Structure 1
Amino acid sequence: MVVVTLTSAALVASAAVALSLGSVEVPVARVLAVLLRRLGAGGEVTVLEDQLVWQLRLPRVLGAIAAGAVLALCGAVLQSLTRNDLADPFLLGVSSGATVGAVTIMVLGIGLGGLAASAAVSAAAFAGALAALAVVLVIASAGGRGLSPHRTVLAGVAVAYLCSAYTSVVLIMHGEGDAARRVLNWTLGSLAGLRWDSTVLLLGAAVVALLWFLAYAERLDAFTFGEVSAQSLGVPVAPTRWVLMVGTAVVTATTVAYVGVIGFVGLVVPHLVRPLVGHRHAAVLPASAAGGSLLLMWADTAARSLVDSQEIPVGALTAVLGVPVLVWLMARRPRA
C-alpha cells in the first residue's frame, strides 16, 4: 500500500503542475486560486485563468487520469485471465471495432439522429466496439467449448483483421480531403475534445472498473496459477472469465469512444507495478490504476505543450515511452 499511497500523492501533485502547463502557462498558485474560487472559497482570478484552468485543462487532466486508470486496470485483468504477458485492453477487438464505427461517421458521413459530429463519432465508436466484442465472443465460444484464452485471442485477431480491412477499403474508396488525416488522428488518440460531460462519464467508468475488478481480486490471484488450480480453489472459472472479459471490454469501449485508441498504457503499466507491489491483485489493481493515470496524464500534458500551436497525438507519445520500457522489462526478465 506504500507504493499506492506514494503514487496517488504524486498523481495529485502532478495534476496541479499539469494544469499550469500549456501554450499559456498559469502559475501553480493561480491554478489553486481558480480551483478554490470554483469550490466557493473565494479569491480573485481573471477570466482567462478561469477559462484555461477550469473549462479547458481540468476536464482534460481528469479525463487523462480516468482513461489511464481504465486502460491499465483492464490490461492487468486480461494479463491474469489469459496468462499472456502481451494481453492489453484491446485484446478482444474493441479498438478495431471502435475504429470501424468512427470511420463510418467521419468518412462516410452517416449521421446518428441529429447528434453533433463529435458525439456521433463517440456513439458510433462505442457501438462498433461492442459489436466487435460480440462477434469475438460468439466465435470464441462456438461449438460449446467455452471461452478459452487461446480461442479468445485467435478470435480477437481475426476480428481485428476484418475491421482493418473494412477501414482500409472505406478510406481508399471514400477518403477524400482531410478524411484520412482525421481518421489517423483519432486512431492515435486525443484528449483535446474532452469537456465536463464526457470527463464525468470517464471518471464514473474508472471508479466502476476499479471497484468491480477489486471485487474479483482473489479470483484473479487464483487464475495466476492456471485454470486447474483456480478450479481446485473453488473458483467458478467460466463465469468469472465471462464477467471479467465482458467488463474489461465495456469500460475500454467507453474510454475509446471519447479518447480514441491509446496503446501501451494497458500493456506496460501492469508489468511496471508488479515488481513493486507483488502479484496479489488487491495491490496490483490500484497500483496499476494510479500508474496508468500518471503515465497518460503526463503524456497528454507533453502532447499539448511540446510544440507551439500544434498538438502531438498522445498515442504516439505513449508508444515512444512504452516501447523502451517494454524492451527494458524483457531484458531484465530471466529466460524461460
Structure 2
Amino acid sequence: MFALRRTALPSLSLARGYAATGNVSTLLLVEHKDNKVAASTLNALTAASTLGGSVTALVAGNAPEAVVGEVSKLAGVSKVLVAKDAAFTHALPETYSSLLVETQKKHGFTHLIASHSAFGKNVMPRAAALLDVAQVSDITAISSADTFVRPIYAGNAIATVKSNDSIKVITVRGTAFPAAGHADAAAPSEDAPAATAGTGSEFVSEHMQKSDRPELDSASRVIAGGRGMKNGENFGLLYDMADKIGAAVGASRAAVDAGYVDNSLQIGQTGKIVAPELYVAVGISGAIQHLAGMKDSKTIVAINKDPEAPIFQVADYGLVADLFTAVPELTKKL
C-alpha cells in the first residue's frame, strides 16, 4: 500500500537582525581538519558577523598556514590570530580552552563563538568554566548582543535567553545560519598568545573511517536508516541508493545502539544535526530525539510500513511500504 502525505515543515529559523549596541568584539574559534576549514565554522562566522563589531578568527595547529590563508579571505574576518604549536596537533580540548582564555584576556573579546559541533562542544564549556561564565549553547538566532534564541526539549520549544555575563561564550547551530562567503582582500594575521598545554588528557590514537561519500554534516542529500533496517548488512540497500544520487548515509540512535552502524553516522539530539536539501528516512519511526537532528531539512521523504509512525508528521512525502521492497525499486529507477 502506498500513501502520500504533505505537511508544513517546522522551522527553528527566526529573524536575525538588530541594531548593534555597545562595544562588541568577537573571537571565532576555527575548526579545521586536513588543512580544510570545517563547513560549520563558516556558519558560525555568519552568526559572529551578525553580532556587529569586529570578528577575529583564531586558528591553531602544528602547521596551520594553509588554513590561515583560507580563513583570512573569508568575508567578515577582520584579523586572524595564529597559534602554531605541536600541542594543537590533535585538538585536545584542554589545550584549546587554555588558548581561548589567554587570547580573551589579552584582547578583551566580549564574545567567544564556535560551531556546536563535537569539537565546539568539547572546547567551549571548558573555556566558559575557566572564565567563570555561563555558556549559551546551540543558538539558532541572535536578537541582540546579549540575547539569543535556542531550541530546548529536543526542539519542541524555542527559548529566548539573555546573558548578563560580561563575556559571552556561545556555540552556534550550523544549520540555522548561512555559510560565510569570501572577501576581496585577505585580513592581516598575527601571533596568538601562548597557551598552557592541557594536563587532563593525552592523545593515544585515532581511528578514522574513510569514505568516498559526502560528509554527513555538509551533504546536500542524506539517506538515513533506523531500527527497521533489522541489521547492519541491510544498510547496503541505503549505500546503493546513496551512490546513485551522491548522498551521505546516516542512522537513527536506535540503529546505532543496536550495532547496525558506527556511531559516527548517528543523527539526532545526541548525534549530528543536519539540514540537507533532501532527507530520506528509511525504517525510522521518528522519535523526537531524531527529529531534533533533521527536521530543518528542506524536503523530507519517509519510508515506513507503519502509517502511524511519527516521522510522517514532519515528512513532505511519505511512502507506506515495506522498505525491503520499496528501496530496491526506487534505487533501480534512479
Instruction: Tell me, yes or no, whether TM beats 0.5.
Output: no
Q: TM-score, normalised by structure 2?
A: 0.22
Q: TM-score, normalised by structure 1?
A: 0.22
Q: Which of structures 1 and 2 has the larger relative contact order (alpha carbons within 8 angstroms, sep 6+)?
A: 1
More strand by share: 2
More helix by share: 1
